A = this chain, B = another copy of it.
Amino acid sequence: MRDVDLNKIRNLQLFAGMSDARFVDATGGAFLQNFPANATLMYEGDPVDFLYILMEGAVELQGTWKDKESTLAILRPISTFILAAVVLDANALMSARTLEKSQILMLSAESLRRTMNEDPGFAVAVAQEVSGCYRGLVRSIKNQKLRGGAERLANYLLTLQVRQGGIETVTLPYEKRTLASLLGMTAENLSRAFATLSDYGVEVQGSEVKIARPVPLRRLAAPSPLIDNHMPPGKGTTGKAAKEMWPPSERSCSAERG
């Protein structure tokens, strides 16, 4: 295990408050693994022996039922995954596969559970990280149940725009069929949703999407901080918990209750 790799995760919120000695102990059996694109890391139902931390590349979490499958989330570095299963020593509920060549750090689940019991700060950090993931899923369900296809796409584009620094032309970070599955629709319907958004100034060319008229697009999308996380880039790259702590909790929102 190269020190340079461990140092990257040393800065994660998850390990922030930990003493060096305990960090070395917790990451003792860790190893860094390289995977090609489209490698399945784990099938849903599998027992979970490791916490995975994506260092480079991209990982898709998906669910399957009766020959159907759906993408539940797509992760970018640096992200942990299947943390909840590690905490509960339970089987995975989602499959995980790489979308690109990826570098993934694997930490012993058992060591981490032991460390949780020995290091109060670490247990708190884990609780925070899982809480962040939980809130991400709440957003995802609301997005899915309350919005139609074109609305989900419009909001996806606006969120992407924020994450890419607010520029006019955003770049889709993965294939359209993957995006379609993430947005809960077929590839065909994604094409049609893009066509619908052309009335709102969305111009597509390959993976480049120009948001020519943001105002009408925004009116259609109606993004909400209670569904969409528009955290600016660079603010919270150290975990899902940090993403959910932005913006700082505000008092008295009664004016917006409608």
Residues of A near any B CB (own CB < 8 A): 43-48, 63-66, 68-70, 72, 83-85, 87-91, 93-94, 116-121, 123-124, 126-128, 130-135, 137-142, 144-147, 184, 222, 224-227, 241, 244-245, 249-254, 256-257
Contact = CB atoms under 8 A, between A and B. Distances in A.
A256 B45 contact: yes
Given A226-B63, A227-B65, A127 B116 contact: yes
A189 to B, nearest CB: 14
15 contacts: A45-B257, A47-B251, A65-B224, A65-B226, A66-B222, A84-B138, A88-B128, A88-B241, A89-B249, A91-B226, A91-B250, A116-B127, A118-B120, A120-B120, A127-B127
A138 B72 contact: yes
Most buried by B among A47, A70, A124, A141: A141
Nearest to A245: B88
B90 A135 contact: yes
Given A141-B72, A142-B72, A84 B135 contact: yes
Given A116-B124, A123-B124, A253-B45, A145 B88 contact: no
B250 A47 contact: yes
A2 to B, nearest CB: 29
Contacts of A87: 127-128, 131
A134 B244 contact: no
B43 A257 contact: yes
A248 to B, nearest CB: 9
A117 B127 contact: no
A227 to B, nearest CB: 6
Contact of A93 (B88, B117, B121, B142): B142
A157 B130 CA distance: 30
A217 to B, nearest CB: 15
A68 B128 contact: no
Given A120-B119, A245-B88, A249-B91, A222 B134 contact: no
A123 B130 contact: no
Contact of A123 (B64, B120, B250, B252): B120
A93 B43 contact: no
Given A65-B142, A89-B249, 18 more contacts: A45-B256, A47-B250, A63-B146, A66-B146, A70-B146, A72-B141, A84-B131, A88-B128, A88-B131, A88-B245, A90-B249, A91-B226, A93-B139, A117-B120, A123-B123, A123-B124, A130-B134, A144-B144
